A and B are shown apart, each in its own frame.
Chain A
Amino acid sequence: MIQLRDVTKRYGAKTVVDRLSFTARPGQVTGFLGPNGAGKSTTMRMVVGLDAPTSGEALVNGKRYAEHAAPLQEIGVLLEAKAVHPGRTAVSHLLSLARTHGIPRRRVDQVIDMAGLSAVAGKRVGGFSLGMGQRLGIAAALLGDPGVVMLDEPVNGLDPEGVLWVRNLLAGLAAEGRTVMLSSHLMSETALIADHLVVIGRGRLLADSGVDELVAQFAGGGVKVATGDPAALRTVLAGPGVTVTSTAAEELLVSGRSAREIGLAAAAYGVPLFELTPQTVSLEEAFMTLTRDAVEYSAGLPSAALQEATR
């Protein structure tokens, strides 16, 4: 289990993580989402004590990371693909970490095999592709057979086969009752693996809920109606809890009424309809809506144009 309690991290005047609290629980995959620069990596670094929180605390299985007798057995982390000396072979790299904890050579060979690196185990890491580096990082995370696995952008640089491998691996680890947390800036991809989503933007918590709840929360997109007589339709549909907005000359966006109700009402009053489309929201749209105000580096689009683009 990973617990963050009111964690804040400031670098000088810049607040990178802002009173962040959430929990990643055993037996499920927690997706940790946010746009680039949202503070995901910093948060993960604080969990394993590489960065010290300015205030608040990050706990792994109820204790601060450094207080554990065998840290690598509590939590395995992939922080950056290349947290490795390029002059060392994959085996030497893993052995140098394993030996700190008395982890046997057998286990090193096991994780190399698991990561599909057997053929290059004796090769120097400097020549590895991004994908192979990721696999080595994941192998290192699994070294201590940890109860918690935390991976920063694990599918970054992996080919489709590799992505599938990570997905199955993580699902398997969670099924064994382990805590799995992975970060990403791609919501749709993460939703395929994760049971639970934690979304942050500018270091603040934006959402902490199940995947389905999050989608449902943003699914109330209303119904798009095209009609020859928008004024008449407005009158017909008016009522408590109903809002009608005009999106174009012959188009209305109606919320508070289902497509069926709108169609029946229009037929009863003889208002011609050309189109009747319930607006659904994709995960990616939900994510962008959620993080719109918290995007650290936008492409310089005016926000109205950005909103339009996400429709």
Chain B
Amino acid sequence: MSTYRLSARGILYGEWTKFSSLRSSWITTAAATVLLVAFGVVASAAFDGRTMDAVGLALAGNNLAALAVGVLGVLLAAGEYSTGMIRSTLAAVPSRLPVLWSKSLIVGGTALVTMTIGAFAAFALGSPLLHDGIAALGLGDDGVLRSLFGAGLYLGLVAVLGVGLGALLRSSAGAIAVLAAVLLIVPGLAGLLPSSWGEAISPYLPTNAGGAIMSLHHVDGTLGPGTGLAIFAGYVAAVLVAAAYRLRKADA
């Protein structure tokens, strides 16, 4: 009789098998990449010469791409609860938490790779469309590589945020609603606050903090790239910890 063994590597491989065997995983990943590249190219082509730089234009689709990769994470985590798959999963992995870490690694890694490629593609395709070289830049210019790689990192973290929300709320619809609110609505709410408050709080809002890594030049009233990304990673970690707590303590 052969002896099998539950291992961290095996759990990661199992989660990859789950991720890669669902059509929706690939459709959502492709949608995120297309959104990022297409919006970058369109924004570059439509550029009228004010206030933007080539990197900002190339990454014009980052908010929509963030929504797509976030949904990718939500579907992988919350989808287990809506289908009942979670019972099979946790019967195989009764220690539970490695499942959450593995899902985060796989979705985060997939988003990191595809979104980094997408960011470079948007920059490469968009730059030649900028007329008269007003805002044109090369990869060698200050901050360009940092911004493009940073976009991949930020979007990778958004995907992990999706996993955390999905596992915490155990409902695809609920988690997508919260995700959309964080990405699209919360940034606008700062404007409703008294201006002194708004200015103080605004840089620390998730998307503003995370977005700092993608901005070519430091803008007043925003955080530095490293600090901003670290704060965003902190938000993601907090959600993930809450999800881990629920996964560990609650009946499946």
Contact = CB atoms under 8 A, between A and B. Distances in A.
A260 interface: no
28 contacts: A50-B91, A51-B252, A70-B6, A71-B94, A73-B4, A80-B87, A83-B85, A84-B84, A84-B85, A84-B88, A85-B80, A87-B24, A88-B18, A92-B17, A92-B18, A96-B15, A97-B14, A97-B89, A99-B10, A99-B13, A100-B7, A101-B10, A102-B4, A102-B7, A140-B88, A144-B4, A145-B1, A145-B2
B4 A101 contact: yes
Given A45-B251, A140-B88, 9 more contacts: A51-B251, A68-B94, A84-B83, A85-B18, A85-B22, A92-B17, A96-B15, A97-B14, A100-B10
Interface of A: 45, 48-52, 65-66, 68-73, 77, 79-80, 82-89, 92-93, 95-103, 140, 144-145
B24 to A, nearest CB: 6
A226 to B, nearest CB: 56
Contacts of B30: none
Contacts of A84: 83-85, 88
Interface in B69-100: 79-80, 83-95
Contacts of B79: 85
Contact of A83 (B2, B6, B17, B88): B88
A68 B94 CA distance: 9
A67 to B, nearest CB: 9
Contacts of A45: 87, 251
B5 interface: yes
Contacts of A79: 87-88, 91
Contacts of B21: 88-89, 92-93, 95-96
Nearest to A84: B85
Given A50-B91, A92-B21, A103 B84 contact: no
User: Residue among A66, A73, A86, A96 with the most chain B CB within 10 A?
Assistant: A96
Contacts of B7: 100-102
B84 A82 contact: yes
Contacts of B93: 71, 100
A100 B6 contact: yes
Interface string B190-210: 000000000000000000000
A281 B90 CA distance: 43
A71 B91 contact: yes
Given A69-B6, A70-B3, A72-B4, A99 B17 contact: yes
Given A48-B94, A49-B94, A101-B5, A82 B13 contact: no
User: Residue among B10, B11, B84, B85 with the most chain A CB within 10 A?
Assistant: B85
Contact of B18 (A65, A83, A96): A96
Given A84-B83, A85-B79, A89-B21, A103 B94 contact: no
B55 to A, nearest CB: 37
Nearest to B15: A96
B94 A66 contact: yes
B23 interface: yes
